[in-house]
Chains A and B, each alone.
Chain A
Amino acid sequence: MKIDDATRLAEIKERVEKSSRLSKGDVTRITVGMASCGLAAGARKVLDTIKEDIQSHKIDKVVIVPTGCIGICKLEPIVEIIRPGEEKVSYVNVTEDKAKEIIKKHVLEGKPVKDYAIKDEKGILSVEKSSFFNKQLRIVLRNCGIINPEDIEEYIAVDGYKALYKVLTSMTPEEVIDIVKKSGLRGRGGGGFPTGLKWEYAKKAEGTQKYVVCNGDEGDPGAFMDRSVMEGDPHSIIEAMAIAGFSIGANYGYIYVRAEYPIAVRRLSIAIEQARRYGLLGRNIFNSGFDFDIELRLGAGAFVCGEETALLNSIMGKRGEPRPRPPFPAQKGVWDKPTLINNVETYANIPVIILKGAEWFSAIGTETSKGTKVFALGGNINNTGLIEVPMGTTLRKVIYDIGGGIPGGKEFKAAQTGGPSGGCIPKEYLDTPIEYETLIKFGSMMGSGGLIVMDEDKCMVDVAKFFLEFTVAESCGKCSPCRLGTKRMLEILNRITEGNGTEEDIKKLETLAYSIKSSALCGLGQTAPNPVLSTLRHFRSEYEAHVKAKKCPAMKCRSLFKYTILQDTCKKCGICARNCPVSAINGSPKEMFVIDLNRCTRCGTCLEQCPFNAIIKSSMGEGS
């Protein structure tokens, strides 16, 4: 079983291709997207139905393959069919009934079911050729949704472990680090530190025992690219970590995954086990004399553990509290030994860079930000999902051309990047290329790549409050600027959104924000004020409206708006009163109906239910 040279890798590749597990033989390949999104949308039942149907129709020469996430989550469950010699057809929003029809018509009779497939005006398409995909460049997500993540041979068939072979048999550690440096790859976990430099520091650090760590604690709300890679292409992380281990002189690695990702944990465990069986982890890999093994460590629900020193403590079984740096992990990491920590997405780039070269990679992207970036599109956007584009792509292209724009004909208001450490980018900057530096200039940051789109109905003070609530809940409590400071900021924001804020409060908020930024212990605290500072910078008038006119321009903050029944338009049907969940509407069909504002929770049910448009929403102190 052990693979010890390139011939064995090539043999497996040929065998997989011939057996058509990757669609080049005479067998029909049916893939079902089985990542978290797909499973949540019902992919398990679809897969079971397909299996049963294939059996009951006694169809042979078919392989049914569970894959990871193809990226367009809103169309899950997705089933793809490749018949020998034919183009791939992608079926979306597949149900058990649709699956049966697809098997009968497409697989059995060779007639694709147009109604359920992705298509444009010219006809049926595969996902890859749709407008969502053809503007993307997939390096990190190259295998997600294509290969079976639970089958190491499929990974080998797409040139997996070839980069590790090349490194172990023909390169020196210095040469590997040199390629990574020249590629210009920067850390994809948030800060954007040059990856090659980090590897060099870890290599130069003194010590015989060193460690390689993969940060899979993707806690940033709204970001799920690391989950997708861990679920859809786990071997690419293992391969990259082994390459990193060889480069810095480490023979042991930890993958730290957050507890909220059970499927990622399962797929990684299977992948590690398979890699050991094939001799791609363990002793004397490719007969090179290099040993490397990996252990999986699970988080237990703490956002701060994404911070590297907190993560190290957590691996060592301690409270996930950060510590001051220096010493940096490269000098003193796990068990006080030199440790290299990179994020999942960063690692996923490595095998491709080794195989295709630094020049190829550095030709993609901008002057300072090379390669691609995966973004998780969420919020008020039509095509929610995962996309990968070259660095330097504009926000407009991401949101409108790929993301399909804002639903319901609403206006774009802001894009939030960088999670609780980032900020909101207003529409003036839609045409600026996205790269590390521009985002920082806007008062935001790349973060891990969560991109939440907000439409005109969102109140930016409320959004800032949301992130502060997050930070207050997730602050580990070790340093007082973060523990106490963020709490005071939240109190001020509560006052402002409840209509009790003053102009002095806005100033206080700013002063506090800057002092927390400059004095907090770790990245969590230092960046916690960013959502407030960036919204103050780009949407200051909204804060001022809340404190001066006691108005919430988006009419989102509940203390600052009300619902009123227009007596002239009201037909006294009583639908509003019957539907009000808190019985705040009084009246009878003979009299008038009135909303008791003290009881009203501003849920808006009455407005939605009224058939005569007799209910209006207005700022407190305004209207009838």
Chain B
Amino acid sequence: MCTDIERMSSEKMDRLKEIIHKYEGVPGALIPILNEAQDLFGYLPMEVQELISKELKIPLTEVYGVATFYAKYTLKPSGKYRISLCLGTACYVKGAPLILEKLKEILKIDIGETTSDGLFTLEETRCLGCCALAPVMMINEDVYGKLIPEDVENIIKAYKNRD
């Protein structure tokens, strides 16, 4: 584990400590802290969970239990662009499965996987609440609505070209 800690930027670990201290005395702060840690690191590596466990004085099993319960948290680093395809009812009815197929075909990965170049992670989400724009997907913070399978290739290409 030691080498991992060294590899983890110490600056970020210091930032994490600040985050934890910000919640001092706030009951039930584990989830708000994990939320900020996930945003800070992009995932929740074991040493991050260990530090949170130590600082909050709660068992690591409990931290791990919470970190693996919620969909927002990931234990593995995700790609530079997180593609969240909405598979809510409205999107499903409006053809989201066809978009998913196209994404899988183009990226050559399954849900929950990251492309070998580290660019894209494909995720499904249960309703983004933009049902009127169905089918919808988000790539990081950008929303794409009223998708048809033909759109997908160009959207992905645009992100590839950014790099």
Contact = CB atoms under 8 A, between A and B. Distances in A.
Interface of A: 36-37, 39-41, 73-74, 76, 218-224, 227, 259-261, 297-303, 314-321, 335, 376-380, 384-385, 416, 419, 450, 452, 454, 458, 466-467, 470, 473-474, 476, 581, 601, 603
B83 interface: no
Interface of B: 27-32, 34-35, 38, 62, 65-66, 69-73, 87-94, 98, 101, 105, 125-134, 136, 143, 145, 149
Given A224-B130, A385-B132, A379 B69 contact: no
A609 to B, nearest CB: 11
B89 A221 contact: yes
A266 to B, nearest CB: 13
B29 A317 contact: yes
A246 B87 CA distance: 41
B131 A378 contact: yes
Contacts of A227: 129
Contacts of B32: 297-298, 317
B31 A297 contact: yes
A300 B31 contact: yes
5 contacts: A222-B90, A297-B32, A300-B73, A317-B66, A379-B93
A416 B89 contact: yes
Contacts of A36: 128-130, 143
Contacts of A218: 129
Given A259-B35, A298-B32, A376-B131, A319 B69 contact: yes
Contacts, number: 141
Given A300-B71, A317-B28, A466 B89 contact: yes
A450 B129 contact: no
Nearest to B34: A300
Contacts of B131: 73, 222, 224, 376, 378, 384, 450
A45 B94 CA distance: 27
Contacts of A76: 132
Given A40-B133, A301-B71, A301-B72, 19 more contacts: A36-B143, A41-B133, A73-B130, A221-B87, A224-B127, A297-B32, A299-B70, A300-B71, A300-B73, A319-B65, A319-B66, A378-B89, A378-B131, A378-B132, A379-B89, A450-B89, A473-B126, A603-B101, A603-B149
Among B62, B69, B101, find the residue whose CB has the most chain A CB atoms closer than 10 A.
Answer: B69
Contact of B93 (A300, A378, A385, A601): A378
B127 A298 contact: no
Contact of B90 (A41, A221, A314): A221
B2 to A, nearest CB: 29
B126 A300 contact: no
Contacts of B92: 221, 466
Contacts of A384: 90, 131-132, 134
B10 to A, nearest CB: 26
Nearest to A74: B132
B133 A73 contact: yes
Contacts of B34: 300
Among A39, A218, A317, find the residue whose CB has the most chain B CB atoms closer than 10 A.
Answer: A317
A81 to B, nearest CB: 23
A466 B86 CA distance: 13
B93 A320 contact: no
A298 B31 contact: yes
Nearest to A452: B89
A598 B158 CA distance: 33
B35 A298 contact: yes
Contact of A452 (B69, B90, B136, B149): B90
Contacts of A223: 127, 129
Contact of A316 (B28, B72, B134): B28
B105 A221 contact: no
Contact of A581 (B94, B105, B125, B130): B105
Given A37-B132, A39-B143, A303 B126 contact: yes
Contacts of B91: 221
A260 B127 CA distance: 8
A416 B88 CA distance: 13
Contacts of B69: 302, 319-321, 476
A181 to B, nearest CB: 32
Given A37-B133, A40-B143, A317-B28, A260 B128 contact: yes
Nearest to B26: A295
A314 B31 CA distance: 8
Nearest to A73: B132
7 A-B pairs closest in CB distance: A73-B132, A221-B88, A301-B71, A378-B90, A300-B70, A317-B30, A317-B28
Contacts of A261: 129
Contacts of A470: 87, 126
A222 B129 CA distance: 7
A267 B138 CA distance: 21
B93 A315 contact: no
A260 B131 CA distance: 13
A329 to B, nearest CB: 15
Contact of B27 (A300, A335, A378, A379): A335
Nearest to A531: B89
Contacts of A452: 89-90, 93
Contact of A302 (B30, B71, B143): B71
A320 B70 contact: yes
Given A316-B27, A458-B93, A302 B132 contact: no
B39 to A, nearest CB: 10
A129 B130 CA distance: 24
Nearest to A227: B129
A473 B87 CA distance: 12
A470 B127 CA distance: 11
Nearest to B23: A317
A260 B70 contact: no
A470 B87 CA distance: 9
Among B29, B87, B90, B136, find the residue whose CB has the most chain A CB atoms closer than 10 A.
Answer: B90
A385 B132 CA distance: 6
A398 to B, nearest CB: 15
B127 to A, nearest CB: 4
Contacts of B88: 221-222
A464 to B, nearest CB: 12
Among B71, B91, B105, B134, find the residue whose CB has the most chain A CB atoms closer than 10 A.
Answer: B71
Given A317-B29, A317-B30, A317-B31, A219 B70 contact: no
Contacts of A260: 125, 127-129
B28 A379 contact: no
Given A317-B29, A335-B27, A37 B130 contact: yes
A252 to B, nearest CB: 11
A45 B89 CA distance: 29
Nearest to B30: A317
